[in-house]
């Protein structure tokens, strides 16, 4: 069997299947016991818990949409006083997999962890942002949080049937230590990581001097971390990294549909712009740090010009005779999702490392992101 560097084609297929599982995210709280410098959820947090009945309705709605995985998040979901009942209800509702996104501090208490597992919890994703107490605690704003999270992580790793993964929000303070951080947790037994590019919202914008960075300037540090993604048995994903920053690691580019998660989170803002002309409040200085930069830029052009044209498909994809330009024309009631479908198929393009040796590179706009992932 041929290999993709160190990664077999068979393992590649397994990873792709894992990405395509239908998930339903449910927020349990608007509270957190950390004060992360990069938290983009700041505006949504008011110290409260989502009512139990509302969470029930959300879980039932997810099953109606044929979701198989329930993802419980916050804030920090472990602060909800009825967490165990919520997990039990999700299991009763026949989700095949129940996942919790948390800073993990509560799992330092083994009894709390055992109870969650007995109610049906299948996976815990720990948010850990450095390999040392000094770095992690500076980022979370809570002294002692690293040791508590680490104890929770070790407790979880000791449970044979529990899947344990780690989220790392990559920012200016920890990007130089990303490889060391991965190695540290790999050494503890973690085999799945999600690397999330910091977004220019909430506290991340308030602390932008320490948080926001240009990934191109740290490409050497990122490459060392991305190299680990080619290790068999190790699962590394990226989240909110723009395709142009992923170099030769095409397998780390997010599927174009993943962008929809970010768009849904700002749906009201985008619809107010499209339908009522209300300004997108974050448009401007924040854009150069944002995963949605190209989407928002095209949305503005579409609004101003009344239409958006497709980019030309490259010759390397075999489309010499099919390079006609298509247009999305704005109607009286423009639809955000119709726009997104056109954007991701006809405008969301990138170049890959092999483009550098192509004779047509100067006049080429690249290829659709999903094609770049598949080559």
How many whole angstroms separate alpha carbon 200 and alpha carbon 144? 26
| Last residue within a domain, chosen from 202, 237, 254 | 254
pLDDT in tens, 134-146: 999 999 999 999 9
CB 236 within 8 A of CB 196: no
E strand or H helix at 343, and its extent?
helix 336-346
Whether residue 147 lies inside any domain: the answer is yes
Q: Does 234 share its domain with 301?
A: no
Write the pLDDT tens digit of every residue in 51-64.
999 999 999 999 99
Query: If you search the block for the tokens 């996104």, which residue do you land on?
Result: 101
Q: Give per-residue pLDDT as tens, 190-229.
A: 999 999 999 999 999 999 999 999 999 999 999 999 999 9
Q: What is the pLDDT of residue 43?
A: 83
Count of domains for the chain: 2
Taking each helix axis as running N to C, give the angle between helix 178-188 and helix 219-227, from 0 to 180 degrees, rounded to the nearest 10: 20
Q: How far is CA 39 from the centre of its chain?
A: 14
Domain assignment present for 32: yes
- Tokens, residue 373: 């992932």
DSSP per-residue codes, 157-214: HT-TT-EEEEEEEE-TTTGGGHHHHHHHHHHHT--EEEEEE--SSHHHHHTHHHH---
CA 290 to chain centre: 13
Tokens at 248, concatenated: 């030769």
Check whether 1 has a pLDDT greater than 50.
no
Residues 46 and 109 both lie in one domain? yes
- Asked if residue 274 belongs to a domain, the reply is no
Domain-located, residue 261: no
> Tokens representing 229?
């993604």
CA distances from 218 to 152, 222, 287, 331 (A): 31, 6, 19, 43
Instruction: State the pLDDT at residue 15.
Output: 56
Q: What is the pLDDT averaged over residues 294-320?
A: 89
Domain-located, residue 289: yes
The whole domain housing 135 covers 3-254
Q: Is residue 266 part of a domain?
A: no
How many of the other CB atoms lie within 10 Å of CB of 317? 12
Cα–Cα distance measured from residue 26 to residue 45, given in angstroms and rounded to the nearest whole number:
15
- Mean pLDDT of the chain, nearest integer: 92
Cα separation, 30 vs 39, in Å, equals 12
pLDDT digits (tens, 9 = 90+) for 311-335: 988 888 775 555 678 999 998 889 9
Residue 271 maps to a domain: no
Both 248 and 159 in one domain: the answer is yes
pTM recorded for the entire structure: 0.92
Same domain, yes or no: 28 and 133: yes
d(CA 130, CA 64): 39
Kindly write down the DSSP assignment for every residue of 305-319, as one continuous string. HSEEEPPPPPGGGT-
**Stretch 14-43: mean pLDDT:** 85
Kindly indicate the confidence band of residue 352, based on its pLDDT and cuts at 50, 70 and 90: confident
213 token code pair:
């960075």
Residue 212 lies in a domain: yes
- 167: domain CATH number is 3.20.20.70
Given 239, 254, 269, the domain boundary residue is: 254
Is it the case that residue 169 has pLDDT exceeding 80?
yes
What is the average pLDDT across 263-267? 91
Same-domain check for residues 247 and 308: no
- Average pLDDT for residues 143-165, to the nearest whole number? 97
Contact 38, 203 (CB under 8 A): yes
In whole angstroms, give the CA distance from residue 346 to residue 358: 21
Among 254, 289, 324, residue at a domain's last position: 254
Same domain, 49 and 177: yes
Residues 207 and 171 in one domain: yes
Q: Do residue 180 and residue 215 come from a single domain?
A: yes
Are 84 and 98 in contact, with CB atoms under 8 Å apart? no
pLDDT at 17 > cutoff 70? no
């Amino acid at each position: 069997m041929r290999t993709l560097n160190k990664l077999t084609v068979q393992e590649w297929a397994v990873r792709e299947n894992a990405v395509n599982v239908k998930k339903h995210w449910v927020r349990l709280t608007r509270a957190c016991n950390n004060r992360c410098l990069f938290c983009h959820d700041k505006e949504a947090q008011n110290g409260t818990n989502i009512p139990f009945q509302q969470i029930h309705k959300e879980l039932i709605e997810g099953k109606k949409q044929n979701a198989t995985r329930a993802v419980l998040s916050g804030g920090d979901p472990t602060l909800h006083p009825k967490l165990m009942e919520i997990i039990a209800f999700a299991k009763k509702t026949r989700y095949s997999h129940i996942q919790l996104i948390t800073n993990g501090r509560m799992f330092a208490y083994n009894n709390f962890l055992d109870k969650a597992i007995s109610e049906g919890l299948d996976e815990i994703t720990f948010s850990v942002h450095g390999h040392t107490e000094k770095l992690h605690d500076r980022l979370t704003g809570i002294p002692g949080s690293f040791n508590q999270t680490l104890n929770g992580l070790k407790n979880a790793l000791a449970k044979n049937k529990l899947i344990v993964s780690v989220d790392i929000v990559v920012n200016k303070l920890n990007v130089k230590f990303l490889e060391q951080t991965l190695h540290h947790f790999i050494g503890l037994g973690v085999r799945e990581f999600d690397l999330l590019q910091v977004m220019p919202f909430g506290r991340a914008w308030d602390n932008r001097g320490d948080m926001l960075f240009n990934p191109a300037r740290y490409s050497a540090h990122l490459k060392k971390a991305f190299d680990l993604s080619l290790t068999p048995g190790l699962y590394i994903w990226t989240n909110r990294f723009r395709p142009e920053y992923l170099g030769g690691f095409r397998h780390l580019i997010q599927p174009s549909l993943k962008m929809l998660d970010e768009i849904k989170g700002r749906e009201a803002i985008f619809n107010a712009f499209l339908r009522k002309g209300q300004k997108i409040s974050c448009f401007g200085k924040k854009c150069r740090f944002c995963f949605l930069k190209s989407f928002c830029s095209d949305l503005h052009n579409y609004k101003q010009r009344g239409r958006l044209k497709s980019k030309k498909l490259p010759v390397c994809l075999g489309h010499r005779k099919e390079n006609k330009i298509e247009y999305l024309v704005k109607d009286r009631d423009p639809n955000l999702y119709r726009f997104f479908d056109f954007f991701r198929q006809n405008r969301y393009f990138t170049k890959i490392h092999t483009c550098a040796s192509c004779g047509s590179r100067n006049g080429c706009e690249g290829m659709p992101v999903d094609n770049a992932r598949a080559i």
